[in-house]
Homo-oligomer: A and B are copies of this chain.
Amino acid sequence: ERAMPNPNCQRLFDRARELGVGFYLGYAELTEDGQRFNTAITVGPDGAILGKYRKVHLPGSVEPRPGNRYQQLEKRYFQYGDGGFQAFRGAQEWGAPIMGMLICNDRRWPEAWRCYALQGMELMVLGYNSAAYDPNGGDAENLEIRTFHSILSAQANAYFNATFAVAVAKAGVEDGAGLIGGSVIVDPNGMILAQAKTLEDEIIIAACDFEKCMQGKGPGKIFDFGFHRRPQHYGRIVEQAGVEPIA
């Protein structure tokens, strides 16, 4: 997509605005200078784009892996997101929560959630298209463990960051390959408020009282970051990308 909205998806924007419904939309972005990003936007109930995010954690590889039935080639077709993790305000109608966005594999990386939480995040929204097979483990479908990992990531990172989180799957079979479900809405305690139960289309709903985030990270609380974090000991997280093993 060269612009958002554009004629191909204008009807989505129009219909959502008629209904007063906001949404998160993921798409393949093509910039004027020819860069391609895996991108998502959050759109308010008035149709305004409130936040935009380009995926930072691209899984897979640049080159196809010989002999693999399935290929995971995000590193081939997209550039790494160049904007980092910029929190933004949700719509007034939603209580104007401080929001973050991630895309798919990003949700497994606690660094990403923390960078948003350090801006006061109260609501994370993310979408995922996660294969039901293990992209690193061969052909075997393993819906159960892949769904477990997806929900575990949402619950734990919501808890660690005392934020609501909405993680939405594109479930079912696409081009003959299975995708996991497991969409969840999670509260700042990491508890599941609503969960999709099938691999079909579903709607899940939960009311989110953003005041509850302060029970986890308000002044003096267990996740009062400024009171308890010790960043002088976290240097490796930014000083090295990979493992520097001990002797």
Q: State the A residues within 8 Å of B (CB).
A: 56-59, 61, 65, 80-81, 84-85, 87-89, 98, 105, 108-112, 114-115, 117-120, 135-137, 145, 148-149, 152-153, 155-157, 159-160, 189-191, 215, 217, 220-247
Q: Are B109 and A111 in contact (CB under 8 A)?
A: no
Chain B hits for A223, CB < 8 A: 108
Q: Are B56 and A230 in contact (CB under 8 A)?
A: yes
Q: Are B238 and A226 in contact (CB under 8 A)?
A: no
- Kindly name the residue among A155, A223, A233, A240 whose own CB sees the greatest number of chain B CB atoms within 10 A: A233
Q: Are B114 and A237 in contact (CB under 8 A)?
A: yes
| Ranked 4 nearest A-B pairs via Cβ | A226-B242, A156-B156, A110-B110, A120-B245
Nearest chain B CB to A131 CB, angstrom units: 11
Instruction: For the complex, give the distance between the alpha carbons of A238 and B191 in Å.
Output: 28
Q: Are A241 and B222 in contact (CB under 8 A)?
A: no
Chain B hits for A246, CB < 8 A: 87-89, 98, 119-120
Q: Are A152 and B155 in contact (CB under 8 A)?
A: yes
Q: How many subunits of this chain does the assembly comprise?
A: 2
Q: Given contacts A117-B243, A152-B156, A234-B237, could you give 17 more A-B pairs where the C-beta distance is less than 8 Å?
A: A56-B230, A57-B230, A58-B228, A85-B233, A87-B246, A111-B114, A111-B233, A111-B237, A136-B222, A148-B191, A149-B190, A231-B238, A231-B239, A231-B240, A235-B238, A237-B238, A238-B238
Instruction: For the complex, give the distance between the alpha carbons of A115 and B235 in Å.
Output: 8
Nearest chain B CB to A143 CB, angstrom units: 14
Q: Are B114 and A110 in contact (CB under 8 A)?
A: yes
The 13 listed contacts between A and B (C-beta, < 8 Å) are A65-B220, A89-B246, A98-B246, A110-B110, A111-B237, A114-B236, A115-B233, A115-B234, A119-B244, A120-B246, A148-B191, A149-B189, A232-B238
